[in-house]
Chain A
Amino acid sequence: MSDKNKSIVYGLYNDETELLSAVKAANSAHLTIMDVFTPFPIHGLDPLLGLQESRLHIGGFIYGLLGTLTAFLGMTWIFTKDWPQIYGGKPHWAVPAFIPITFELTVLFASIGMVVTFYIINGLGPGVVNPCIDPRITDDKFCLAFDAHEVDPIQAENLLRSTGAAEINSKTL
């Protein structure tokens, strides 16, 4: 990613309720939160962080529609123009027989399209190394991180301390 060498001030909490109240405190102190890292999704965190609903599903719909059209129009062309054959006395354009394949391709296009989009948007993929702020955020720690260029690091540290962070660190990634 482009924003290399970020200096980050972060606190690790032991409990998600502490984290939630810390996020509220940061919001009311007008400290811009860089990000929050948690081992599992926490109810009520998204609205506090002011996160917008993901637009990934719009992409999913478009990919799905693309799959529907690919399968349906593809089969229509193959079975009526390119290589018409009679199977079981059915008409060339046998719509009911096309439906299962159309369904499958819709699902396939939507799922693969969404995964690829997700990877591209998030800069993920084979060979990409993503810095991890602390390995324990994948286990039992809840991390609240501030960008030291956006907020006053002293103020951020005070806030982390006053909201009960078990550990406070700073790091340059």
Chain B
Amino acid sequence: MNDYTFPSKVRTFLLGGIGLGFLCLALTFFMDGLDHHPRFWSNFLHNSVFFTGISLMATFFIAVCITAWAGWYTVFKRVWEAFSQFLMVGLVLMLIVGIGIYANWHHLYHWAAEGITDTASENFDSILAGKSGFLNPTWYVIIGSIIVLVWIFFAYKLRSLSLAEDEFGGNDNFSHHRSMRKWAAGFLPIVGFSSAAMIWLWVMSIDSHWYSTLYAWYCAASWFVAMIALTILVMIYLKSQGYFANVSNDHFHDLGKFMFAFSIFWTYLWFSQYMLIWYANVGEETVYFKTRIDHYPVLFYGNLILNFVMPFLVLMRNDTKRKFGTLIFVSIVVFFGHWWDYFLMIKPGVLESATHGHGIGEYTVGYTLPGLLEIGTMLGFLSLFLFVFFTILSRKSLLAKNDPYLAESLHHHV
């Protein structure tokens, strides 16, 4: 079966999931005791950033594989091509957050507060005034949107070239593939720098006084592992439905290796950031971890257990990367774990701004721990992601039949 049909049952199920997401978002909106609904807005931002990032990492990885002349993934590359198209939805979601800054719907970002750059104002903050060349609504909304539009363009370009290759390739002296290679190579430096800028704007600037140079890599690694985990889950599901008969355990083995390797890469970055800040012990840097260890210990240590200890110990063996049972288990845990990681990046800063720096002293559902509403919101966004993914996947053939690497991919053996 080389053409995916989106069954109406699954469609209804996913629409139900989206409905659940809306319901949970609405409930968080109305049940929020603090000014400007920080719980609602931080949930919205958290999930928008997380799923947009997964989509971006799929685009990035397609470009990496093309540039590296990789052939193993060709048999299922339509999955990543479909993942990458979610960027368009991501742009809309991030624009809602961006417009919220102008319209004063939320106070997620302290740098957007009124009078922060005005020396006459009592809100004046010299540090943020110094950063205001970058941390300002214009950068966030206008330049941010332009950057995401560039990503969308490349995601669209790489996919449409791949689809055109299906139709006109084979006898074209690889002209489609050559063209793809140029676009992919061009995309890599662009995504390298622009993703960092967007991570600074979207996530790091929540803790607006704090900064870390490693942060962008760390966030990107988190996205990447989540993307691979979601790929494994989706592929196992599609295989169980009878699609992708050509995808063998060897392909899953490689995906498992990527999940394993990048979990360790993520830990490496996490630890490098932590240790440098711990060692230097500069007050304005240390406060970031101090807050998280003191007030968010479950999230802080849970993060390491879910995203490092667990995948490290389970995926270390050869056979656990080849069995669906262990792969599904680890993928679910790691996917949830990286969502949890973003939760921990976003929530403390939001709460800090919402309570005007007083923070909190005890466990608060929705901030120091994800509550049921957060889980429901995540499932809603996941349903939206999968809905878009399956819709796009069902439009075109699952097999890139004229890709020069297809034969290599079909014979992939590790």
Contact = CB atoms under 8 A, between A and B. Distances in A.
Given A96-B275, A97-B275, 17 more contacts: A43-B413, A44-B413, A53-B318, A57-B318, A61-B316, A88-B279, A88-B281, A89-B281, A90-B279, A96-B271, A96-B274, A96-B278, A96-B279, A97-B279, A99-B271, A99-B275, A100-B275
A88 B286 CA distance: 15
Interface of B: 271, 274-275, 278-279, 281, 316, 318, 413
Contacts of B279: 88, 90, 96-97
Interface string A129-146: 000000000000000000
Counting chain B CB atoms within 10 Å of each CB, the highest count among A44, A57, A96, A99 belongs to A96
A88 B280 CA distance: 9
Interface in A81-127: 88-90, 96-97, 99-100
B36 to A, nearest CB: 37
A44 B250 CA distance: 13
Nearest to B272: A100
Contacts of A61: 316
Interface in A43-58: 43-44, 53, 57
Nearest to A54: B318
A102 to B, nearest CB: 11
Contacts of B281: 88-89
Interface string A32-68: 0000000000011000000001000100010000000
Contacts of B316: 61
Nearest to B274: A96
A90 B275 CA distance: 12
A89 B278 CA distance: 11
The 3 closest A-B pairs by CB, nearest first: A96-B275, A43-B413, A96-B278
Nearest to B280: A88
Nearest to B268: A103
A96 B280 CA distance: 12
A90 B318 CA distance: 40
A24 B271 CA distance: 51
B114 to A, nearest CB: 40
B286 to A, nearest CB: 12
A14 B271 CA distance: 51
Contacts of A43: 413
